[in-house]
Amino acid sequence: MTTVADLVPFLGGTLVAGGVAVAVSRRRELVLRWCVWAAGVPLLAGAFWLGPGGAAAVAALVGVVAVVEFGGLLRLTPVDRAVLAASVVALVLAVWLVPGELPRVAAACALAVVGVPLLAGDAAHGLRRAGAGLLGLVWLGLLAALVPLGATGLALFTAVSVADIVAYAAGPRLGGPRLSPLSPAKRWSGTVAGATAGLGALAALSAWSLPLVIAVAVGGPLGDLFESMVKRGAGVKDAGRWLAGSGGLLDRIDSLLLALAVLLVLR
């Protein structure tokens, strides 16, 4: 079984190869994205090396930041955001500490999220708040799936990150039909090039399996489009502005989230 330690040399090589590619491109936004990736991969590798507890800590932290950005997109109240963040963290902790109780914890979290606008008697916006909260719980709660995956989760993150960067760089250069009205800048050519690069990363990391292949090639692009749909509905371009080259953290993990969903279905 491949371990996190086994992946480290391959991760280093992937980072170097990616750095050379973005340097040759001379595109500032790609360099910024690579810098964020280069900083994030060692941190994630260290967390996953610590085991499920380290993975849970990273998933919980990322989940809280993502909830803050998601709440801003959908104009959730501070109380909605606080309850949603606590619920996402509860799912992560349940997967780590009491996996057998996950259905019970998930149901309690859903009740808590819906209960906030319900108990507030919000007749004007309660339905929107409850729906947005449940969407956030299901979508961002997928981060909990990282906890038991170990090296597989790290390999998946790396592959979808590689696919994202290559798709972003290749689409405008290769041209061709647009991928979806949800994201007019994305092209089928870029998506195919990105998926190919992502699968190449899986092969380099010795993490090749049919569920992972489908998760990277299908789940990753769908995750990107899903967040585009959410942002278009909210009328914004990026989930945040603090992460160099990526907007917000949600913009960086959108592909990973649905890739995790596909992997859960197929494993």
pLDDT for residue 193 is more than 80: yes
Is residue 149 within 8 A of residue 2, CB to CB? The reply is no
The residues, ordered by sequence, that sit 6+ positions from 176 with a Cβ below 8 Å of its Cβ are 187, 188, 189
Residues 8-61 have pLDDT tens digits of: 777 777 777 777 777 776 777 777 777 777 777 788 888 888 899 999 999 999
Residue after which a domain boundary falls, among 96, 117, 149: 149
pLDDT for residue 248 is more than 60: yes
One domain, residues 59 and 167: no
One domain, residues 108 and 194: no
Residue 114 is predicted with a pLDDT of 97
Q: What is d(CA 78, CA 83) in angstroms, rounded to the nearest whole number?
A: 9
The residues, ordered by sequence, that sit 6+ positions from 194 with a Cβ below 8 Å of its Cβ are 162, 163, 164, 165, 166, 167, 168, 170, 220, 221
Residue 244 is predicted with a pLDDT of 54
Residue 52 is predicted with a pLDDT of 93
Backbone angle region of 27, left / alpha / beta, with phi > 0 → left and psi within -120 to 50 → alpha: beta
Q: What is d(CA 3, CA 198) in angstroms, rounded to the nearest whole number?
A: 19
Q: Select the more confidently predicted residue: 112 or 167.
A: 112
The whole-number average pLDDT for the span 63-89 is 96
Least confident of 13-27, 83-97, 118-132, 223-237: 13-27
One domain, residues 70 and 47: no
One domain, residues 244 and 189: yes
One domain, residues 182 and 266: yes
Q: What is d(CA 197, CA 202) in angstroms, rounded to the nearest whole number?
A: 9
Residue after which a domain boundary falls, among 117, 149, 181: 149
Is residue 188 within 8 A of residue 176, CB to CB? The reply is yes
The number of domains in the chain is 2
pLDDT for residue 157 is more than 80: yes
Integer CA distances (angstroms), 229 to 130, 161, 202, 226, 241, in order? 19, 20, 28, 5, 18
One domain, residues 67 and 81: yes
One domain, residues 13 and 131: no
One domain, residues 89 and 121: yes
Say whether pTM exceeds 0.85.
yes
Residue 171 is predicted with a pLDDT of 80
pLDDT for residue 145 is more than 60: yes
One domain, residues 179 and 241: yes
Residue 13 is predicted with a pLDDT of 75
One domain, residues 267 and 161: yes
| Burial of 237 (C-beta count, 10 Å sphere; 0-12/13-18/19+) | exposed
Confidence class for position 241, pLDDT limits 50, 70, 90: low
Q: Select the more confidently predicted residue: 188 or 7.
A: 188
Q: Which domain holds residue 199?
A: 1-51+150-267
One domain, residues 114 and 124: yes
pLDDT for residue 245 is more than 60: no
Q: What is d(CA 190, CA 172) in angstroms, rounded to the nearest whole number?
A: 7
Residue after which a domain boundary falls, among 149, 170, 204: 149
One domain, residues 97 and 205: no
Confidence class for position 101, pLDDT limits 50, 70, 90: very high
